Amino acid sequence: MNPEYPCIVQRDFTILLEMGLPQSEYARSQLQVYAELVKSPSAFHTYHITPLSLWNAAALGWSAEDIQNSLQSVSRWDIPRDLLKDIEQLVSRYGKLTLSRARAEEVQAYSTDDTMVDRLTLTTDTPVLLEELLIKQELRQLGVLRTGEVSASIPPENRGLFKQECTRLGYPVVDTAGYLEGNQLRFSLGQGQAQVQLRDYQVEAADAFEGADGLGGSGVLVLPCGAGKTVIGMAVMDRLQCEVLILTSNTTSVRQWIEELKQKTDIPVNSIGEYSGQKKEVRPITVATYQILTHRRSKDGDFDHMKLLSERKWGLIVYDEVHLLPAPVFRATADIQATRRLGLTATLVREDGCERDVFSLIGPKRYDMPWKELERQGWIAQVDCVELRLPMTAELLERSMRAEGRQQYRIAAENPAKLEAVRSLMQRHTGLPTLIIGQYLDQLRTLAQELGVPLITGAMSQSERVRWFDAFRKGTIRTLLVSKVANFAVDLPDAAIAIEVSGSFGSRQEEAQRLGRILRPKPGENKAYFYALVTENSRETDFAARRQLFLIEQGYEYAVRRFSPAEAMGSLDDKAGDGGKKKEA
């Protein structure tokens, strides 16, 4: 036993991390590579090792031995031997199955059908595993045929579905079958209106996608908001010199990509197209929204614009904000596995449980830059996170007790006392660019009226949104009220204060995206402030704890403070409020 080590590793893949010890931060940096944070009480954080977390670590180059050594370097007691064996067995599954391009002579040795020459070859070093897989009805339906003791072939059109199914069965496939080159497009990065000097981590991320042998071409790069993921995407495009389809979350993001391409590359303007609800331009570089791809005239109708994925010989498809990828785009992506696929995101967390589909269809995690590391290097702002708890009036408490389920949560989320708290915070930070972000439109409209602040919602026209965002960037207005549109890639580099008045229940990805709105580097002390307003002793408190999990895993601490209009809040740098501890999830 070593009492200085902060982790208690349990046989059921659970890890308890004791906070406040000298080695706690080191242990957290290790665990976030191969484990997932489940809950975060102030004294102990609970992590869980999953097959997917191990496979993503393996894709980053971590061996079973690396993971075992890491655990032993932070574990207070000896690690159960059976757990070490299970980790070794699960990690070994990554790479047991490999897809490659079949040689004609290989396939024709087992078939006289000329159409077979285009099939892909599946190989393994374990004949028994191949035998087990080939009896699965799900794989037989995909046309998998045995061609040798440790090999089989599959139709190339089922490449994605096969990988998706194997991941579900617990055997992720390493895909080396290669990619179509796509139509060439010659251009240079850094030859537009703005010079581009890639940061070291941006070069590392592009290298990781390319792969050590230059055969990379599918996978996800995970970096904080404000880290320059768009620039990394353009760096990958620059290396490939091909036509590219870029998919992103909304029209605002589409136009931000287009503007960045115009400023930072010498791609001709007439070679860059917007494909959205307003425009339908298909050009060598096309930037589209997920919404337009999933648009259809009726619930059971075809997706009218999904053909965009194969309309040209794209050499690369970029999935920006890949954590928001809709299910129909997953299905379409399964059919285009021969096209290089780059996923960009601040977090791989999905609330719909589709992380495995991102892994199998877009690709594994190729690069992951911890948020706090970029903060330490000064590339993103240092953020103070405060959970401000507000009391309920007797009337509100009675209403809440009579309500059920989601209505109970909404009553707490729309607590009228939040108006006074917002006023107090705005007064404290007078003059600093401030975003007030919420979930419920009635609440936001009331705040807009009472505070005299413009409100941006999804119903607002794109041109009007752009007008308000531009005014905020220029400093003409210093405060904006924003609905769920703030969850997406809105570039407001000067925003220094974010006040969250309500959110989508326990959405971890939403919390990460909202904090991301204020992460751009700031002049001077490079600081920003994130406030989550929460009604105490309500369902909102429980949901807030879950919302914060991802950011706590990244090293952010929420100081819990109780707001009372009758008393000052004290210094924001004073973490004494409730001991400055991370809350109990």
Put simply, whether the predicted model's pTM sits higher than 0.85 gets the answer: yes
pLDDT score recorded for residue 488: 67
CATH superfamily of 200-369: P-loop containing nucleotide triphosphate hydrolases (3.40.50.300)
Q: Which of 341, 351, 309, 343 lies closest to 328, judged by CA?
A: 309
Say if residue 82's pLDDT is above 60.
yes
Question: pLDDT-based confidence at 569, cuts 50/70/90?
Answer: low
For the segment 399-457, what is each residue's pLDDT rounded down to a tens digit?
999 998 889 999 999 999 999 999 999 999 999 999 999 999 999 999 999 999 999 99
Q: Are 287 and 248 in contact (CB under 8 A)?
A: yes
Say if residue 566's pLDDT is above 90.
no
Interhelix angle 81-93/64-74, nearest 10 degrees: 150
Q: Cα 53 from chain centroid?
A: 14
pLDDT score recorded for residue 105: 55
pLDDT score recorded for residue 489: 57
Domain 380-562 has CATH 3.40.50.300: yes
For the segment 268-313, what is each residue's pLDDT rounded down to a tens digit?
999 999 999 889 999 999 999 999 999 988 888 889 899 999 889 9
Q: Which of 370, 304, 404 lies closest to 25, judged by CA?
A: 370
CA–CA gap between residue 248 and residue 559 (Å, rounded):
34
Give me the percent of the chain exceeding a pLDDT of 90: 70
Question: pLDDT-based confidence at 190, cuts 50/70/90?
Answer: confident
Structural element, H or E, at residue 28: helix 24-34
The sign one gets for the Cα dihedral 103, 357, 170, 49 is positive
For the segment 290-300, what is each residue's pLDDT rounded down to a tens digit?
999 999 888 88
CA–CA gap between residue 558 and residue 252 (Å, rounded):
30
For the segment 17-34, what is each residue's pLDDT rounded down to a tens digit?
999 999 999 999 999 999
pLDDT score recorded for residue 353: 80
Question: pLDDT-based confidence at 573, cuts 50/70/90?
Answer: very low
Q: Which of 262, 255, 229 lies closest to 371, judged by CA?
A: 229
Question: pLDDT-based confidence at 110, cuts 50/70/90?
Answer: very low
Number of H helices, E strands in the chain: 23, 23
β-strands 120-123, 218-222 pairing: unpaired
pLDDT score recorded for residue 579: 36
Hey, what are 581's tokens? 């501890």
Say if residue 42's pLDDT is above 80.
no
CA–CA gap between residue 61 and residue 58 (Å, rounded):
5
Q: CB 269: neighbour CB atoms within 10 A?
A: 9
Say if residue 351's pLDDT is above 80.
no
Average pLDDT along the chain? 89
Mean pLDDT (whole number) for 571-577: 43
